[in-house]
Structure 1
């Protein structure tokens, strides 16, 4: 009987923890992960937190702190200044597409597109998703690449895919 109670308690705890996790928006998920602290700082500086906590759904290609560290410190510092909010917003919305694009959707689109597909970002510009050397990459409009290193981090209003380099619009 004790084992049955333990099993039922464990299952109930898992179900409720999954439900609690699913209720977090993509911004809440980013805030709760130390690897996204620079992204969260940038979202706050660009006044995009509230927008990305909205209904969505959104697919976010989220750069890690290490990805932001690849940007020259002076350039990143300037982007975070209040007078550059519009430019920062354009950079950040270049990492977001409308809809809930799971990894399986990306793979299916790549098969249809023979290893390459363009998506329109919230900034209104194109981002190319491509398969190369068994990995999935983003190619920005400047010809720079970013590897998708983790996928399908779910929030209540979308999904996050982790990238290793900040992509930049033209």
Structure 2
């Protein structure tokens, strides 16, 4: 003799299971639904103590709020020492509004769209047999290679920067600190 469950009993069982699952879900503190601006790229960079020049440059370029809310982005953040050296060597003044478009191009060259952890960059390097290219939000290509255990970024001029601190994971992306500044082709302040 075969035993069949009535369609009504199956429907009742399904609805009971679904309702209890909903109650459990609603009770969770869902971190994926809300954007915690306390842990955004801009707030973490501001609080790091090693990127005050970068924050000043982002504000001067009018890009400060973008990295506070939008994303996901991967930011290759030059240290204060690296940016201060560049600005001292080129004579660039952050308070000069005439430099805004060059400053935007420079900063956008340090950002790629998406969330690229160091391990994801390494996977791309493996696929490319030791070389990977990434399109920056500025619109130019940035090349990554591996040197020993370091990920090295190279710009179109052949300048390179090492990732010295990787994978600062934020609600709207990832920050990698780099030891020097990489330069796009489309800046006019270079000597």
Q: Structure 1-normalised TM-score?
A: 0.83
Of residues 45, 48, 58 in structure 2, which corresponds to 1:43? 58
Q: CA deviation at 1:22?
A: 8.4
The structure carrying a bigger helix percent of its residues is: 1
Tell me, in whole angstroms, the C-alpha distance in 2 between the residues paired with 1:72 and 1:156. 30
For 1:78, what is the secondary structure of its paired residue? coil
Q: Which of the two has higher C-alpha Rg?
A: 2
The 3 A distance-change label for structure 1 pair 163 and 92 is same
Q: CA deviation at 1:32?
A: 0.4
CA contact (8 A) 1:118 1:127 kept: yes
Deviations 1:50-71 (A, max 9, x none): 1112331000000001111331
Give the structure 1 partner of residue 172 of structure 2: 157
Q: CA RMSD in A?
A: 2.1
Structure showing greater relative contact order (alpha-carbon pairs closer than 8 Å, 6 or more residues apart): 1
Q: For this pair of structures, how many residues does the alignment match?
A: 153
1:86-165 map, 5 Å: 86-165=101-180
Q: Which runs of 5+ in 2 are unaligned?
A: 1-34, 186-191
The answer on 1:64 being equivalent to 2:79 is yes
More deviation, 57-66/132-141: 132-141
The answer on 1:30 being equivalent to 2:59 is no
CA contact (8 A) 2:93 2:99 kept: yes
Q: Structure 2-normalised TM-score?
A: 0.74
CA contact (8 A) 2:53 2:84 kept: no
Q: Which runs of 5+ in 1 are unaligned?
A: 1-19
Tell me, in whole angstroms, the C-alpha distance in 2 between the residues paired with 1:121 and 1:97. 4
Runs of 4 or more consecutive aligned structure 1 residues displaced over 4 Å after TM superposition: 20-23
Give the structure 1 partner of residue 96 of structure 2: 81
